[in-house]
Amino acid sequence: MGLLIDLDKCIGCGQCIEFCPFGALEMVGGKVEVREGCTLCGACLDSCAYEALIIEELEATPAADESYRGVWVFAETKDGEFSRVAYELLSEGRKLADARQSELGAVCLGHDIGAVDSLIAGGADRVCVVDSPALADFPEDLCARKLAEVILEYKPEIVLAGATALGRSFIPRVAAILGTGLTADCTGLEIDPETGLLMQTRPTFGGNLMATIICPGKRPQMSTVRPRVFKPDAPDQTRKGGVIRLDFNSEGVTSRTKLLSFVEDLAETVKLEDADVIVAGGRGLEKPENFAMLEELAGALGAAVGSSRPPVDEGWVPYPRQVGQTGKTVCPKLYIACGISGAVQHLAGMQTADVIVAINDDPAAPIFEVATYGIIGDLFKVVPMLIDRLKNG
């Protein structure tokens, strides 16, 4: 991988040096050389009449190559720690690997990556670690090429990643380099017992249909999965596994991106994804002031306040509170839905909650089909009664 100069063809005319927007080519002893700063943009290639510059590409993936074995999880890190979604995917990946009677691997890239044993405790049989100062800010272009290179070397037949902000931007690059398919935002993964193919299920047509997608002709089969769709297994500290540390050669390659700063979304004071209890309100709340009642109930329960989409669209509550297909996916121990009908797009974000309590005055509301406990009644009467009971016993 990289820009190569065919010294037999290079006549040292220097034409390419002028075409390089990054000043990454120089003349040394009458021939062109690549120095630090090359981004592999390819601008120099057309400038050379002698075809002396070549970008060495990774080999294309052979179609459905049988030598591909095992399931891999891309273990994303943030502030030096593995994201929860990595453990969620390991738990699901373990089932897929067992169904294929193969190994479960985890792969991580970055700098100062610690605690890889936790990935083994989470279900991985082995962990591949690419640790380099050059990857400290996770330059996506370099990381994508490296991950593609590692995948081509170790040949997992399935690669899973979280549909996080990073996963959504980084993993498609990896799939494109490998020339394989990627199913984004999956909500279900299963192995077809007959063909052994990964069946990747995701909502489509605005969430009105569930599509099951397969990738029969290319390897690996790649999917991203939203955080909180699967539950992590309890860590098993007795599990044993191997750790492979791989080099990253940063010579001759420079990222095209530079992280200037990381700006935290200060508007997002409520971390819905991390809440054990969520009290959510829908259009049935009627107006923004009525959310104060939910805040009070949430306060009494130590809960976070969520919402269906209409209150967000109406500007009653900010977007980070939205639960559902185009909002957050949550998996709390308790989810109390107040004045929410239970549209499929809302259910997509909360139906894996351990206990769902629905308060709705319409007995035919679809939310009751997924509710553990249903309260048919006026929320303006029921919620104050709950608050009173919680506060006054």
Ligand X SMILES: Cc1cc2nc3c(=O)[nH]c(=O)nc-3n(C[C@H](O)[C@H](O)[C@H](O)COP(=O)(O)OP(=O)(O)OC[C@H]3O[C@@H](n4cnc5c(N)ncnc54)[C@H](O)[C@@H]3O)c2cc1C
Residues that bind ligand X (CB under 6 A): 206-207, 282-284, 308-310, 322, 324-327, 339-341, 343, 345-346, 349, 359-362, 365, 378-380
Query: Minimum CB separation from ligand X for residue 81, in Å?
Result: 28
Please tell me the distance from the alpha carbon of residue 273 to that of residue 270, in angstroms, as a whole number: 9
Query: Minimum CB separation from ligand X for residue 168, in Å?
Result: 16
Please tell me the distance from the alpha carbon of residue 224 to that of residue 184, in angstroms, as a whole number: 5
Using CA atoms, how far residue 86 sits from 160, 200, 237, in Å, is 9, 18, 17
Taking the least distance from each CB to ligand X, the nearer of 19 and 380 is 380
Query: Minimum CB separation from ligand X for residue 257, in Å?
Result: 30
Taking the least distance from each CB to ligand X, the nearer of 93 and 349 is 349
DSSP 24: -
Please tell me the distance from the alpha carbon of residue 53 to that of residue 7, in angstroms, as a whole number: 9
Q: Give the chain's end-to-end CA distance (angstroms, integer).
A: 68
- Sign, CA dihedral 220-226-230-232, equals positive
Taking the least distance from each CB to ligand X, the nearer of 121 and 379 is 379
Q: Angle at the Cα of 179 (from 177 to 181), degrees rounded to 5? A: 115
Q: What count of other Cβ atoms lies within 10 Å of the Cβ of residue 261? A: 4
Here the tokens at position 19 are 């075409």
Pairing assessment for the beta strands 373-376 and 355-360 based on DSSP bridges: parallel
Taking the least distance from each CB to ligand X, the nearer of 91 and 345 is 345
**Phi and psi at residue 155, in whole multiples of 5°?**
50, 60
Query: Minimum CB separation from ligand X for residue 205, in Å?
Result: 9
Taking the least distance from each CB to ligand X, the nearer of 93 and 327 is 327
Taking the least distance from each CB to ligand X, the nearer of 96 and 359 is 359
Please tell me the distance from the alpha carbon of residue 156 to that of residue 126, in angstroms, as a whole number: 12
Instruction: Name every residue whose Cβ is closer than 8 Å to that of residue 303 and which is 6 or more positions away in sequence.
Output: 275, 276, 277, 278, 279, 297, 334, 336
Taking the least distance from each CB to ligand X, the nearer of 303 and 358 is 358
Taking the least distance from each CB to ligand X, the nearer of 224 and 308 is 308
Contact 173/234 with Cβ under 8 angstroms?
Answer: no
Query: Minimum CB separation from ligand X for residue 195, in Å?
Result: 31
Query: Minimum CB separation from ligand X for residue 347, in Å?
Result: 9
Query: Minimum CB separation from ligand X for residue 374, in Å?
Result: 11
Query: Minimum CB separation from ligand X for residue 148, in Å?
Result: 32
Taking the least distance from each CB to ligand X, the nearer of 159 and 297 is 297
Residue with structure tokens 């990946």? 93
Query: Minimum CB separation from ligand X for residue 358, in Å?
Result: 9
The one-letter code for the residue type at 377 is G
DSSP 145: H
